[in-house]
Amino acid sequence: MVASRAVTTTELPLPLIDDIITRALAEDLGSGDVTTESCVPEAAQAVAHGVARKPIVVCGVPVAARVFLLVDASLRFTAKAEEGARASEGTTLWTVEGRAKSILMGERVALNFAQRMSGVATATRRYVDAVPKGCVTRITDTRKTTPGLRLLERYAVRRGGGHNHRNDLGSAVLIKDNHIVAAGGVRQAIEAARARAPHTSRVECEVDSLEQLEEALSARADIVLLDNMDTPTVEEAVRRTRGRALLEASGGITFERVAELSRAGVDAISVGALTHSTPAADIGLDFST
């Protein structure tokens, strides 16, 4: 059990998550909670339990805590589950106690964050667990995140056992298909990036054919992203590369392909679905007075 009024994690800096939460609360509360104000007594006290309705990988409890404490600093929040832990159906994830009106006003926003983040962590763990034993392939996210929630979703991927790809356009050089067209070709794009990027930066280039792979390797790309290639083509790409560059499989990656792509020998599999189409986890808030 983690008992604290201010449950936090160093991976989620308070100024940043407080900004996200404040905007979410303003969006939900609007000009006030007319239902709660009209029917709940001012002095009413309550205890509410955040409960997993189905098996999940827990994520977002510190964010739920901040929601309630930003609504009302007098509320008492107790985390009952560790971030990244598996929780079975019926597991209590947290308890919040205090003024009933305050708990009701924070309920939906707290659940929205916890459901979203636990959904991402749960999906990520499923993909990570699909990598066969003995394979060192990493499961990574992409920049296909919910606008404004990238910090939280990337954190959820890590709690699910995955790895983060570049955080933003300034984090790393990744030459995509449109860059290649604009630059005049694979070699031209890589050589231009190599000449202008900081000497500490690795250069990654997306390719969609074995011919482009050969060109990228010849231009000394550090990482090659194999875009929308079937498994036999990926296997041939691994054979041709012979360790000269890291290989990342990407594009339409489904859970069912993780094992075969890992066995093919790629270093990473990037999965946009982890953040752009993962369903929310089923978490509810059970109230008592």
Task: Catalogue the active-site residues.
Answer: 108, 144, 176, 206, 227
DSSP output for 51-77: EESS-EE---HHHHHHHHHHH-TT-EE
Residue 221 DSSP class: -
Which alpha helices (DSSP H) does 184-242 contain, by range?
Answer: 186-196, 210-218, 231-241
Amino acid symbol at 230 = D
Q: Whole-angstrom Cα distance, residue 49 to residue 288? A: 9
Q: Whole-angstrom Cα distance, residue 199 to residue 139? A: 27
SS3 for 49? strand
Q: Whole-angstrom Cα distance, residue 157 to residue 7? A: 20
Query: Positive or negative, the Cα torsion across 168, 169, 173, 176?
Result: positive
Could you tell me if 274 and 120 are in contact, meaning their C-beta atoms sit under 8 angstroms apart?
A: yes
SS3 of 114-138: the string is HHHHHHHHHHHHHHHHCCCCCCCCE
Amino acid symbol at 275 = T
Residue 255 CA: distances (Å) to CA of 73, 134, 250, 258: 42, 18, 12, 6
Distance linking the first and last C-alpha atoms of the chain: 23
Q: How many CA atoms lie within 13 A of 227 on its CB side?
A: 13
